[in-house]
Chains A and B, each alone.
Chain A
Amino acid sequence: MLLIHCPYCDATLPEAEFAYAGEAHISRPADPSALSDEEWRDYLFIRTNARGPHFERWRHIHGCGRFFNAVRDTVSDRFLMTYKAGEARPDLTVKEAAE
Protein backbone atom coordinates (compact mmCIF):
# COMPACT_ATOMS: atom_id res chain seq x y z
CA MET A 1 0.00 0.00 0.00
CA LEU A 2 1.20 3.51 -0.78
CA LEU A 3 1.92 5.84 2.10
CA ILE A 4 0.84 9.44 1.58
CA HIS A 5 1.88 12.44 3.64
CA CYS A 6 -1.12 14.60 4.58
CA PRO A 7 0.09 18.20 4.93
CA TYR A 8 -2.79 19.02 7.31
CA CYS A 9 -2.37 16.03 9.64
CA ASP A 10 1.41 16.27 9.17
CA ALA A 11 1.50 12.48 9.16
CA THR A 12 2.33 9.79 6.63
CA LEU A 13 -0.70 7.53 6.37
CA PRO A 14 -2.00 4.59 4.33
CA GLU A 15 -3.45 5.23 0.89
CA ALA A 16 -6.76 3.62 1.95
CA GLU A 17 -7.59 6.77 3.94
CA PHE A 18 -7.26 8.95 0.82
CA ALA A 19 -9.18 9.52 -2.39
CA TYR A 20 -7.75 10.76 -5.69
CA ALA A 21 -9.42 13.93 -6.92
CA GLY A 22 -8.05 14.71 -10.38
CA GLU A 23 -5.41 17.05 -11.75
CA ALA A 24 -4.42 20.03 -9.61
CA HIS A 25 -4.12 23.72 -10.48
CA ILE A 26 -7.11 23.81 -12.82
CA SER A 27 -9.23 26.80 -11.91
CA ARG A 28 -12.82 27.18 -12.98
CA PRO A 29 -13.25 30.04 -15.49
CA ALA A 30 -14.73 33.11 -13.82
CA ASP A 31 -17.32 33.62 -16.56
CA PRO A 32 -18.15 30.29 -18.27
CA SER A 33 -20.75 31.87 -20.58
CA ALA A 34 -18.01 34.00 -22.18
CA LEU A 35 -16.08 30.89 -23.27
CA SER A 36 -16.22 29.20 -26.64
CA ASP A 37 -17.32 25.56 -26.78
CA GLU A 38 -13.71 24.55 -27.35
CA GLU A 39 -12.46 26.50 -24.32
CA TRP A 40 -15.18 25.01 -22.13
CA ARG A 41 -14.37 21.51 -23.41
CA ASP A 42 -10.72 22.07 -22.59
CA TYR A 43 -11.56 23.18 -19.06
CA LEU A 44 -13.85 20.20 -18.46
CA PHE A 45 -12.03 17.36 -20.14
CA ILE A 46 -8.56 18.10 -21.45
CA ARG A 47 -5.85 17.10 -18.99
CA THR A 48 -2.07 16.91 -19.03
CA ASN A 49 -1.87 13.10 -18.90
CA ALA A 50 1.72 13.45 -17.79
CA ARG A 51 4.29 10.71 -18.03
CA GLY A 52 6.43 11.43 -14.98
CA PRO A 53 5.72 14.03 -12.29
CA HIS A 54 2.01 14.82 -12.20
CA PHE A 55 0.38 17.56 -10.12
CA GLU A 56 -2.80 16.17 -8.69
CA ARG A 57 -5.37 16.66 -5.96
CA TRP A 58 -6.00 14.17 -3.19
CA ARG A 59 -8.46 14.21 -0.36
CA HIS A 60 -7.82 12.79 3.10
CA ILE A 61 -11.42 11.64 3.14
CA HIS A 62 -11.18 9.05 5.94
CA GLY A 63 -9.09 11.39 8.07
CA CYS A 64 -9.04 15.16 8.37
CA GLY A 65 -11.27 15.51 5.32
CA ARG A 66 -9.11 18.12 3.56
CA PHE A 67 -8.18 18.38 -0.09
CA PHE A 68 -4.48 18.91 -0.78
CA ASN A 69 -2.10 18.70 -3.71
CA ALA A 70 0.54 16.11 -4.49
CA VAL A 71 3.25 15.55 -7.06
CA ARG A 72 3.31 11.89 -8.03
CA ASP A 73 5.49 10.24 -10.64
CA THR A 74 3.04 8.39 -12.90
CA VAL A 75 5.76 5.95 -13.97
CA SER A 76 7.03 4.84 -10.56
CA ASP A 77 3.89 5.79 -8.56
CA ARG A 78 6.24 7.52 -6.10
CA PHE A 79 4.94 10.61 -4.30
CA LEU A 80 7.57 13.33 -4.72
CA MET A 81 5.85 15.77 -2.36
CA THR A 82 2.50 16.95 -1.02
CA TYR A 83 1.44 20.50 -0.14
CA LYS A 84 -1.61 22.35 1.08
CA ALA A 85 -4.43 23.42 -1.20
CA GLY A 86 -4.04 27.01 -2.36
CA GLU A 87 -0.24 26.93 -2.28
CA ALA A 88 1.57 27.73 -5.53
CA ARG A 89 2.64 24.94 -7.85
CA PRO A 90 6.11 23.98 -6.58
CA ASP A 91 9.14 24.34 -8.80
CA LEU A 92 10.45 20.79 -9.20
CA THR A 93 13.85 21.89 -10.51
CA VAL A 94 14.56 23.54 -7.15
CA LYS A 95 13.63 20.34 -5.33
CA GLU A 96 15.84 18.23 -7.60
CA ALA A 97 18.81 20.54 -7.02
CA ALA A 98 18.36 20.21 -3.26
CA GLU A 99 18.42 16.39 -3.34
Chain B
Amino acid sequence: MTTQRHDFDPTPFLVEELPWAPRFSLRVRPENRAALAGALGLELPTAVGQRSTAGGVEVLCLGPDEWTILAPDAAPLAAGSGAAYAQIPHSLVEISDREITLRLSGAQALTALTTGCPRDIDAMPVGQGARTLFDSATVILWRDDRQDFRMDVWRSFLPHVRALLDQVMVELKSGL
Protein backbone atom coordinates (compact mmCIF):
# COMPACT_ATOMS: atom_id res chain seq x y z
CA MET B 1 0.00 0.00 0.00
CA THR B 2 1.29 3.44 -0.86
CA THR B 3 0.86 6.10 1.73
CA GLN B 4 1.34 9.76 1.06
CA ARG B 5 2.66 12.01 3.76
CA HIS B 6 1.25 15.49 4.02
CA ASP B 7 2.69 18.29 6.06
CA PHE B 8 -0.39 19.69 7.73
CA ASP B 9 -0.02 23.19 9.09
CA PRO B 10 -2.91 24.25 11.35
CA THR B 11 -2.04 27.96 10.96
CA PRO B 12 -0.36 28.50 7.59
CA PHE B 13 -0.87 32.25 7.80
CA LEU B 14 -2.85 34.87 9.67
CA VAL B 15 -5.10 37.55 8.15
CA GLU B 16 -5.89 40.57 10.28
CA GLU B 17 -7.93 43.61 9.36
CA LEU B 18 -5.99 46.58 10.68
CA PRO B 19 -7.88 49.43 12.36
CA TRP B 20 -8.74 52.60 10.48
CA ALA B 21 -5.82 55.01 10.09
CA PRO B 22 -5.40 58.30 8.23
CA ARG B 23 -4.05 57.79 4.73
CA PHE B 24 -3.21 60.33 2.05
CA SER B 25 -2.48 60.38 -1.65
CA LEU B 26 0.17 62.90 -2.67
CA ARG B 27 0.85 63.95 -6.25
CA VAL B 28 3.58 66.41 -7.15
CA ARG B 29 5.73 66.85 -10.26
CA PRO B 30 9.36 65.71 -9.97
CA GLU B 31 10.70 69.28 -10.27
CA ASN B 32 8.71 70.30 -7.17
CA ARG B 33 9.29 67.15 -5.15
CA ALA B 34 12.23 68.31 -3.07
CA ALA B 35 10.66 71.67 -2.23
CA LEU B 36 7.40 70.04 -1.14
CA ALA B 37 9.19 67.40 0.91
CA GLY B 38 10.91 70.25 2.78
CA ALA B 39 7.66 72.15 3.28
CA LEU B 40 5.82 69.10 4.61
CA GLY B 41 8.76 67.78 6.61
CA LEU B 42 8.61 64.46 4.79
CA GLU B 43 11.11 62.28 3.07
CA LEU B 44 9.71 61.51 -0.40
CA PRO B 45 11.67 58.62 -1.95
CA THR B 46 12.28 59.00 -5.69
CA ALA B 47 12.41 55.35 -6.77
CA VAL B 48 9.11 53.52 -7.29
CA GLY B 49 8.66 50.97 -4.49
CA GLN B 50 10.88 52.72 -1.95
CA ARG B 51 9.58 53.66 1.48
CA SER B 52 10.59 56.09 4.18
CA THR B 53 9.62 56.17 7.84
CA ALA B 54 10.16 59.15 10.11
CA GLY B 55 8.31 60.26 13.20
CA GLY B 56 5.61 57.61 12.81
CA VAL B 57 4.84 58.78 9.25
CA GLU B 58 5.24 56.18 6.53
CA VAL B 59 5.67 57.12 2.87
CA LEU B 60 5.61 54.78 -0.12
CA CYS B 61 6.55 55.91 -3.62
CA LEU B 62 3.93 54.45 -5.98
CA GLY B 63 4.95 56.21 -9.18
CA PRO B 64 7.29 58.96 -10.40
CA ASP B 65 4.90 61.62 -9.11
CA GLU B 66 2.73 59.72 -6.62
CA TRP B 67 3.10 58.75 -2.98
CA THR B 68 0.89 57.12 -0.35
CA ILE B 69 1.33 58.58 3.12
CA LEU B 70 0.29 56.99 6.40
CA ALA B 71 0.26 59.72 9.05
CA PRO B 72 -1.17 59.08 12.51
CA ASP B 73 -1.79 62.79 12.94
CA ALA B 74 -3.28 64.38 9.85
CA ALA B 75 -3.38 68.00 11.05
CA PRO B 76 0.28 69.02 10.54
CA LEU B 77 0.31 67.49 7.08
CA ALA B 78 -2.85 69.33 6.04
CA ALA B 79 -1.55 72.61 7.50
CA GLY B 80 1.81 72.24 5.73
CA SER B 81 0.11 71.46 2.46
CA GLY B 82 -2.19 74.48 2.75
CA ALA B 83 0.69 76.83 3.52
CA ALA B 84 2.81 75.58 0.61
CA TYR B 85 0.00 75.32 -1.93
CA ALA B 86 0.41 78.73 -3.58
CA GLN B 87 4.18 78.34 -4.13
CA ILE B 88 4.42 74.60 -4.81
CA PRO B 89 1.60 73.15 -6.93
CA HIS B 90 0.62 69.71 -5.64
CA SER B 91 -2.34 67.59 -4.66
CA LEU B 92 -2.78 66.09 -1.21
CA VAL B 93 -5.99 64.09 -0.84
CA GLU B 94 -7.20 62.23 2.19
CA ILE B 95 -8.12 58.68 1.16
CA SER B 96 -8.47 57.10 4.61
CA ASP B 97 -11.81 55.45 3.82
CA ARG B 98 -10.91 54.26 0.34
CA GLU B 99 -8.97 51.17 1.34
CA ILE B 100 -8.90 48.69 4.19
CA THR B 101 -5.57 47.25 5.19
CA LEU B 102 -5.08 43.53 5.72
CA ARG B 103 -2.02 42.24 7.48
CA LEU B 104 -0.81 38.84 6.32
CA SER B 105 1.79 37.10 8.43
CA GLY B 106 2.93 33.61 9.31
CA ALA B 107 4.99 30.85 7.77
CA GLN B 108 3.05 30.73 4.48
CA ALA B 109 2.00 34.37 4.09
CA LEU B 110 4.13 34.70 0.97
CA THR B 111 2.64 31.52 -0.51
CA ALA B 112 -0.86 32.83 0.18
CA LEU B 113 -0.10 36.07 -1.67
CA THR B 114 1.34 34.28 -4.67
CA THR B 115 -2.06 32.65 -5.29
CA GLY B 116 -3.50 36.03 -6.31
CA CYS B 117 -0.59 38.31 -7.14
CA PRO B 118 1.15 37.88 -10.52
CA ARG B 119 4.33 39.60 -9.31
CA ASP B 120 7.44 37.80 -8.10
CA ILE B 121 6.78 38.85 -4.51
CA ASP B 122 9.72 36.83 -3.25
CA ALA B 123 11.96 39.25 -5.15
CA MET B 124 10.47 42.31 -3.44
CA PRO B 125 12.99 43.50 -0.83
CA VAL B 126 11.82 43.71 2.78
CA GLY B 127 10.99 47.34 3.56
CA GLN B 128 9.64 48.12 0.10
CA GLY B 129 6.17 48.15 -1.41
CA ALA B 130 4.26 48.49 -4.65
CA ARG B 131 0.88 48.86 -6.21
CA THR B 132 0.01 45.60 -7.92
CA LEU B 133 -2.87 43.16 -8.36
CA PHE B 134 -4.49 40.54 -6.18
CA ASP B 135 -6.73 38.55 -8.52
CA SER B 136 -8.73 41.35 -10.21
CA ALA B 137 -8.31 43.91 -7.42
CA THR B 138 -5.72 46.67 -7.48
CA VAL B 139 -3.90 46.57 -4.15
CA ILE B 140 -0.94 48.22 -2.49
CA LEU B 141 1.43 45.70 -1.01
CA TRP B 142 3.87 46.57 1.78
CA ARG B 143 6.54 44.05 2.67
CA ASP B 144 7.45 44.54 6.33
CA ASP B 145 9.38 41.31 6.80
CA ARG B 146 10.03 38.12 4.87
CA GLN B 147 6.64 36.68 5.89
CA ASP B 148 4.92 39.86 7.03
CA PHE B 149 2.89 41.93 4.59
CA ARG B 150 0.26 44.64 4.58
CA MET B 151 -2.16 44.81 1.70
CA ASP B 152 -4.35 47.89 1.14
CA VAL B 153 -7.53 46.77 -0.63
CA TRP B 154 -10.22 49.07 -2.01
CA ARG B 155 -13.14 48.43 0.31
CA SER B 156 -15.58 47.26 -2.36
CA PHE B 157 -13.06 44.55 -3.34
CA LEU B 158 -12.48 43.42 0.23
CA PRO B 159 -15.17 40.66 0.41
CA HIS B 160 -13.78 39.18 -2.81
CA VAL B 161 -10.19 39.27 -1.58
CA ARG B 162 -11.15 37.87 1.82
CA ALA B 163 -13.11 35.01 0.20
CA LEU B 164 -10.09 34.09 -1.91
CA LEU B 165 -7.79 34.17 1.11
CA ASP B 166 -10.23 32.00 3.07
CA GLN B 167 -10.14 29.47 0.24
CA VAL B 168 -6.34 29.56 0.20
CA MET B 169 -6.33 29.05 3.95
CA VAL B 170 -8.41 25.88 3.62
CA GLU B 171 -6.17 24.56 0.89
CA LEU B 172 -2.94 25.25 2.77
CA LYS B 173 -4.37 23.76 5.98
CA SER B 174 -5.20 20.55 4.14
CA GLY B 175 -1.64 20.35 2.85
CA LEU B 176 -2.37 21.12 -0.80
Is A63 close to B, CB under 8 A?
yes
Known: A17-B133, A63-B130, A64-B131. A8 touches B119 (CB 8 A): no
- Contact in complex: A62, B138 (CB < 8 Å): yes
Neighbouring B residues of A13 by C-beta, 8 Å: 119
Contact of B49 among A1, A9, A62 (CB under 8 A): A9
Q: Please judge, given known A-B contacts A13-B119, A14-B119, whether A62 and B131 are in contact too, CB under 8 Å.
A: yes
- The answer to the question of B118 belonging to the interface, with a C-beta cut-off of 8 Å to chain A, is yes
Chain A, interface size: which category?
Answer: 10 to 19
- For A16, the chain B residues whose CB sits under 8 A away are 118, 133
Q: Once the chains are docked, how many angstroms separate the CA of A89 from the CA of B119?
A: 29
Shortest beta-carbon distance, B64 to chain A, in Å?
Answer: 5
A66 interface contact, C-beta 8 A = yes
Q: Report, as a range, how many residues of chain B touch the other chain.
A: 10 to 19
**Which B residues from 101 to 145 make CB contacts under 8 A with A?**
118-119, 130-133, 138
Assembly CA distance A98 to B130 (angstroms) = 34
Q: A62-B138, A64-B63 are in contact. Are A9 and B48 (CB under 8 A)?
A: yes
Known: A8-B48, A10-B48. A64 touches B62 (CB 8 A): yes
CB of A65 closer than 8 Å to a CB of B: yes
Report how far A66 CA is from B98 CA in the complex, Å. 21
Contacts of A61 in B (CB 8 A): 138
User: In the complex, are the beta carbons of B66 and A64 less than 8 A apart?
Assistant: yes
B64 A63 Cβ-Cβ under 8 A: no
Contact across chains for A66 and B63 when beta carbons are under 8 A apart:
yes
* 20 sample A-B contacts, Cβ–Cβ < 8 Å, listed by A number: A8-B64, A9-B48, A9-B130, A10-B47, A10-B48, A11-B49, A13-B119, A14-B118, A15-B118, A17-B118, A17-B132, A17-B133, A62-B133, A63-B63, A63-B130, A63-B131, A63-B132, A64-B62, A64-B66, A65-B66
* 13 more A-B residue pairs beyond the given contacts A8-B64, A65-B66, with a C-beta to C-beta distance below 8 A: A1-B118, A8-B48, A14-B118, A17-B133, A61-B138, A62-B131, A62-B132, A63-B48, A64-B66, A64-B131, A65-B62, A65-B63, A66-B64
